[in-house]
Amino acid sequence: FGDPASNLGLEDIIRKALMGNLEERQD
Amino acid sequence: RRRHLVCPMNTSPHVDPQKSGHEVWEEFSHSFTPAVREVVEFAKKIPGFRDLSQPDQVSLLKAGTFEVLVVRFASLFDMKDRTVTFLGGKKYSVDTLRAMGASDLLNSMVDFSEKLTNLGLSEEEMSLFTAVVLVSADRSGIENVNSVEALQETLIRALRSLITKNHPNESAIFTKLLLKLPDLRSLNNMHSEQLLAFKVH
């Protein structure tokens, strides 16, 4: 329980939202 | 035992007692995910943010999303009526939420929102201030501190210039805004403690 942001799934949401943009860039 | 979710990022503080803890958590996550995505989209538009390393972009967002949301959703807290509007659109009084188990964090957030709103910032000023909140070189896990620091300084200079231009007779506004940064940190810490407690229970 050391990382509230990870517990919340926040990191996953952030990574996916950032990655979406990377994919657009590659296109 | 009755449970409540007093975070306004929910549609309502009332929790269906039939639902399991996991279902409640899923629903909560469903409510705040769009807001978090908006924060990421906002970050992408900050000039220079996408030039930072991807791990540093993630670290800044992980550490600062709550603070950005506090600034963006300050209008949910009505200090005149002492009410909080939840994402479902319904208002609840601070006293009601306190009775549901809300901690001192709620009062602190109402106080913060009041002080921020009283500064009467324009949308552009608020947006630049939000960028300054997000790009902080002293967040944990930052790998390239110099790059983040350089961007942070550029943003702070831009904010000072904008505030000085728009409020030539109110030089204290910029100082007051910078003093909001430690206030936000403090709210963020209190919120993290709440999240830990919530998850444990």
Residues of chain B with pLDDT > 70: what percent?
97
- Rounded to whole angstroms, how far apart are CA atoms B134 and B152? 9
Q: Does B41 touch chain A (CB under 8 A)?
A: yes
Distance from CA of A7 to the nearest CA of B (A): 8
Would the CB atoms of B41 and A14 count as touching at under 8 Å?
Answer: no
Task: Note the pLDDT tens digit of each residue in B130-166.
Answer: 999 999 999 999 999 999 999 999 999 999 999 999 9
Containing B84, the helix (H) or strand (E) segment is: strand B83-85
- Give the pLDDT band (50/70/90) at residue A7: low
In whole angstroms, how far apart are CA B17 and each of B2, B154, B198? Answer: 7, 50, 16
Query: Which range is least confidently modeled, A16-25, B118-127, B177-186?
Result: A16-25
pLDDT band at A21 (very low <50, low <70, confident <90, very high): low
Question: Mean pLDDT of all residues in chain B?
Answer: 92
Q: Which of A8, A16, A21 to mutate to test the interface with B (most CBs of B within 10 A)?
A: A8
**Per-residue pLDDT tens digits for B49-66:** 999 999 999 999 999 999
Does B196 score more than 80 pLDDT?
no
